[in-house]
Amino acid sequence: MEYSSTANSGTDENYPEDGAAQQDSDGERPARQGLARYARPALVAGAVIAVVCAALLVIIFFLDSFNATVYSVGGKDVTDATDEAKAIRDSYAAARIGGIVFLITGIVLAAAGGLLLYRHRNEPGSDDEDNGEDVDFADLGGR
């Protein structure tokens, strides 16, 4: 067994020229094919969008409740047919609808990313690669 001062970086010598797997931009590991390469970013982006929209909807709920409470202090009801009550009910309608639309979009995006990750879970990825190098304690200790 021959030891060298440089570690095997897993470059082109490990991949045959004929039928070689497509490589990432760093040229070291095979890249996932098709939509699977976008699964993890889609999962993260969808989760972030869903959390932000859920927080937005909670804030809108509290603001609506506060406005209705303040309006009803004078003995009025927010469900009245007056223009003032209608304006209070509709004050956050666009933000509420937008929050619901983006919440659903985020959930669908996260679910699609999770489904793709689940379907491609057994494919060798960047973390599953074995470059054939056997490292023992003496190599790790620098002796």
Let me know if residue 15 belongs to a domain: no
pLDDT of residue 97: 94
Does residue 133 lie within any of the structural domains? no
**What does the pLDDT look like over 47-99, one tens digit per residue?**
999 999 999 999 999 988 888 888 888 788 777 778 888 888 888 888 999 99
Question: How far is residue 126's CA from residue 1's CA, in Å, rounded to a whole number?
Answer: 27
CA 86 centroid distance within chain = 38
Residues forming a β-bridge with 30:
23
Within-domain flag for 113: yes
Is 104's pLDDT higher than 60?
yes
Is residue 19, in this structure, part of any structural domain at all?
A: no
CA end-to-end distance (rounded Å), the chain:
16
Q: Is residue 118 domain-resident?
A: yes
How many Cβ atoms are within 10 Å of 40's Cβ, its own excluded? 15
Residue 127 forms part of a structural domain: no
Q: Is residue 131 part of a domain?
A: no
For residue 106, is pLDDT > 90? yes
Which domain does 73 fall in, by range? 40-122
pTM over 0.85: no
Does the residue 35 lie in any domain? no
Q: How far apart are CA 53 and CA 56, in angstroms?
A: 5
Residue 128 has pLDDT above 50, yes or no: no
What are the pLDDT digits (tens) for 4-59? 555 555 555 554 444 444 544 555 545 566 777 888 899 999 999 999 999 999 99
As a whole number of angstroms, the distance between CA 111 and CA 113 comes to: 5
Q: How many domains does the chain have?
A: 1
